[in-house]
Amino acid sequence: MKTIQMTIDEALLTQVDHAVQEDGTNRSAFMRQALEEALRHRRIARLEEQDKAGYLAHPVEPGEFDVWFEEQVWEEEEVWSAVK
C-alpha cells in the first residue's frame, strides 16, 4: 500500500469520523472502500452509456425479439409456487 496526503473539508471529515466510529473501522479503510465503490459506480455508468449508445446507433427493430416472446411468459401457477 501507498500512503497519500489529501485535503478534505472539515464537515465531511467529521461525517467520516462519525461513520468510522459507528463501523468500528478507521479513516483509511473507509476511504479505500468509498473510492472502490466510486470507481465501481463509474465503471457501471460507462457501461450503461455504451449500451445506450449502442441502442441509439442500432435501435431494436419491430419483431426482432418476437422469437423469445413465448419464453418469457410464465404460467401463473409456476410463479405462485415459486413464491410460496
User: Does pLDDT of 79 surpass 70?
Assistant: no
CA distance 17 to 37: 18
Query: What is the distance of C-alpha 12 from the center of its chain?
Result: 23
- Amino acid (one-letter) located at 58: H
pTM over 0.85: no
Residue with cell string 450503461? 48
Residue with the bigger pLDDT between 7 and 64: it is 7
Residue with the bigger pLDDT between 12 and 77: it is 12
pLDDT in tens, 5-61: 999 999 999 999 999 999 999 999 999 999 999 999 999 999 999 999 999 999 999
Q: Determine the pLDDT at residue 39.
A: 98
CA distance 64 to 6: 52
